[in-house]
Amino acid sequence: MSELPYSGLRVLEIGSRIAAGACGRLLADLGATVHVVEVRPSSTHGPGKWRDRAGAVAGKQSVLADARVPADVDAVAALIRACDVVIQSSDADDLPAPWASVIAACPIVCDITAFGSSGPDAGHYADELELQALTGVLVTTGLPGGPATPVGVPVLEMSAAIYAASAIGVALHVLRRDGIGQNIEVALFDVGINALTTFMPAHYAGQQPRRLGNGHGMAVPWNAYPAADGWILICSTNDAQWRRIASLVDPDLAQDKGYAELKARLTKREEIDARITAWCRGLPLAEVARKLGEQGIPCGGIVTIDELEREPNLALRHAVQRALDPSSGKVVRVAGPLLRFDGESRPPVVIPAAEPASSATRHVSPRVTRAGKTRTGSEVLRAPLEGLRVIEIGQLTTAPLAARHLASFGAEVIKVEPPEGESARSWAPLRDGVSHFFIASNGEKRSIALDLRDHEDARRLADLISGADVLVENMKPGALARMGFSPERLMQINPRLVYCAISGFGAHSVYEGRPAVDTVIQAMSGMMDATRSQGVPLKTGISAADIAGGETGLLAILAALARREKTGQGCTIDISMQDIAAWMTQTLWNCPPEPRHYDGAVLSVAEACTHPQTQARELIVVRRDTDGRMWEVFGTPMCLSKTPAQVDTLIGQPSRSGLQWARRHEAGDIDARR
């Protein structure tokens, strides 16, 4: 097994939220020694992650502590003193005072809560369902004309976990660079507002988003259809795909000019859905998928939670594993490691038995890191990722989201677009002919237009790569290689490059060349099986798989940079959105789903965007682009106390004449050793 990014790091996980447990597991998979404390008596706010104890402790070291026993309190306090990072959820847990005071002195403390420590709702507890209702996630999910439907997967908790692990990665870099620790806040409310990537621009254009079930506001056909033996998700993204779908359903339909253009199809959504439904009902699901796949149509059967470990691609990538739970004596399902570097193999995940605090802490060595959270003098800390150079060849959500967050922490990001510009530049709603979605999705970047099939433009990209630290892309697997930039070539150009490729099923896949979109990934990962209305499996209103793919790309890049500091070498990262979406369902693998009913207020997108908590935490801010236009864009869901994220001048038009990297500082940058 290769060097892991966070080997040697010691983490204490004491929060009972699902997000705290998932964050700890991510760090453990990246090499950290994670001590998870099983506190007795349990939290006053429900079971949280402990509803599935096996999943909560898998891959970690478990410490059993009774908060009423002084010896246990002292033992855990000693363990906290030995750790570099603490993960807690202060709104859900009442910890003994001795623990709280020791935690405050830890170099890095990450607190995952409902609302954070500022705003009118600061400190209040809320669960996943209430937060879905308050952030617009609930109101945008459901059948057309039907009620708002709770998302059956804890999407906010799991997204918060990825953001928290990413924020810890940023803070660890600052700790290594500057010798100063800091506190981190990740609030589930903030995460929910940040997920309104397609809905926030619509609100500021005066539109009122509506529930579309499994449909798409800008594409027809796009829905879940009942085959003879199950449901299948079918998506079309252009007129050419429509003609291929229509030729399968009825050759005459393909020739009907009344359906030829998307504008016309958008007005005939129900009629088209009825025709496709009638065709699907007469065929087995596998036959429908085969016929559509041969035509290059994004599609996928609805995979149930129970079927996940047998799903061919997830099985190939070891996304779902079996392990013995020593507390019950049963074999249960646990998530495999979400990230691997250079295709490394990893040992099976182990579920530990709970060890009494007195014995678990007996041989713990003192903390190696010596750092405080304050410093004397007037020195201002530089941006965490200042000096980091990132190339993004991305479109729509995943790679742009990862690169946008890197830019907010100080990285220099150059976005590579085709000569005609990224397609999302024309996505409605438009402001002065420019897409609000595109601006909000990209933030503070520079852009260059390159035709990578042109020799001279390919040379320009190679020049940029030679001076870069990171290349992140979400092209179809193999597309970049066919343009002359295979992983091997990239490493020849720059052996220290971190190359992160994000795709629907991964480069290492049984579905080589298969197209994928967010909704297909939700279908094939168990997410839609977990969210149903009137028996119909539903996608989330937010683009949950796309967003989680971008979040995971961010986490992977930060971890790979930490790994490079140890090894001096770059690496390739193969991210599968299907892996991530299935990972987000893991709380349902060993336990029956909880009843999903909510009687409280369900806020509209407009109410969520203008909520006092949204305003107080600056989750939607106004910034200027390079042409002077003002835009509403997202603030950060990762709040670092000493080196906060910032967004300044937003992306403008792509350069046609070439771009050069800014000059690095001589010392202290993320890669001053180049």
270 and 403 fall within a common domain: no
CATH number at residue 584: 3.40.50.10540
Q: How many domains are contained in the chain?
A: 3
pTM: 0.94
256 and 185 fall within a common domain: no
The pLDDT score that the predictor gives to residue 522 is: 96
Q: Which domain holds residue 278?
A: 238-297
3-state SS class at 65: strand
Q: Which parts of 351-507 fold into alpha helices (H)?
A: 357-360, 398-408, 436-442, 455-466, 479-482, 487-493
Q: Indicate whether 219 belongs to any domain.
A: no
SS (H, E, C) 517-579: CHHHHHHCCCCCCCCEECCEECCCCCCHHHHHHHHHHHHHHHHHHHHHHHHCCCEEEEEEHHH
* Beta-bridge mates of residue 448: 416, 655
DSSP-derived secondary structure for 265-298 = HGGGHHHHHHHHHHHHHTS-HHHHHHHHHHTT--
180 and 258 fall within a common domain: no
Contacts of 420 (CB under 8 A, 6+ apart): none
Measured in residues, the chain has a length of 674
Q: Indicate whether 48 belongs to any domain.
A: yes
474 and 537 fall within a common domain: yes
The pLDDT score that the predictor gives to residue 304 is: 94
The pLDDT score that the predictor gives to residue 667 is: 45
457 and 603 fall within a common domain: yes
- Give pLDDT < 50 ranges for the chain: 1, 375-378, 666-668, 672-674
Q: pLDDT tens digit string along 173-208?
A: 999 999 999 999 999 999 999 999 999 999 999 998
The pLDDT score that the predictor gives to residue 671 is: 56
The pLDDT score that the predictor gives to residue 673 is: 45
568 and 495 fall within a common domain: yes
The pLDDT score that the predictor gives to residue 93 is: 93
Q: pLDDT tens digit string along 524-547?
A: 999 999 999 998 999 999 999 999
Q: Indicate whether 342 belongs to any domain.
A: no
125 and 259 fall within a common domain: no
The pLDDT score that the predictor gives to residue 190 is: 98
Q: pLDDT tens digit string along 232-288?
A: 999 887 889 999 999 999 999 999 999 998 888 988 999 999 999 999 999 999 999
Mean pLDDT, the chain, rounded, equals 92
The pLDDT score that the predictor gives to residue 428 is: 84
